[in-house]
Amino acid sequence: MSDGTALAGPDGALRCPWALSTADYVTYHDEEWGRPVHGDEALFERLSLEAFQSGLSWITILRRRAGFRAAFADFKIDAVAAFTDEDRNRLLADAGIIRNRAKIDATLANARVLAGWSPGELDELIWSHAPDAATRAVPKTLADVPAVTDESTALSKALKKRGLRFVGPTTAYALMQACGLVDDHLAACVSRGAV
């Protein structure tokens, strides 16, 4: 049982303890989580997947990511914005994704909103909420990692004000962690400061 500090992985390197429960998590932790993500469509994908994760474990989403990409046209904003009622019904019947009506509807609605934005606008809005790394304490244990911050609350408000759905402060903070706006790898973690 972990006390929330970094633990040795299969290769002996110390990692955040959440990353060690499955090989899928080790790969995601080492290669993606906390590394900067830029580009409107890449951020739309991550924002959508974080919304689908709400109330579920991330591994559920991670293992279905290929299904999500296939179902949502690789998260190409204009393509998803053009989805019809027939596409919505297809999504509701697709066992390769999470068939949650509210989350599917939010993803489609968000794509329609984003289709009206200028190129780079989503990237700029999200990254404008990245906190100054020098002002953040380096977490030593999982207990030191917040679920919500002032910045994630502000990001959530900004996204909602612009018409996006399923973007609460906790989802916004998970997005910030996943996309490298914050580095919440623990102090002793091999991935801390790797970017």
Could you give the residue numbers annotated as active site?
A: 28, 50, 58
How would you label 104-130 residue by residue, b for 16+ Cβ within 10 Å and e otherwise? bebbbebbbbbeeeeeeebbebbbebe
Cα(40)–Cα(122) distance, integer angstroms? 5
CB 16 within 8 A of CB 192: no
C-alpha distances out from residue 37 to 32, 42, 86, 147, 188, Å: 9, 7, 32, 20, 23
Q: What is the dihedral of CA 10, 15, 17, 18, to 10 degrees?
A: -90
Residue 88 has which token pair? 């919505």
Measured N-to-C along each axis, helices 85-92 and 101-114 cross at an angle, to the nearest 10 degrees, of 140
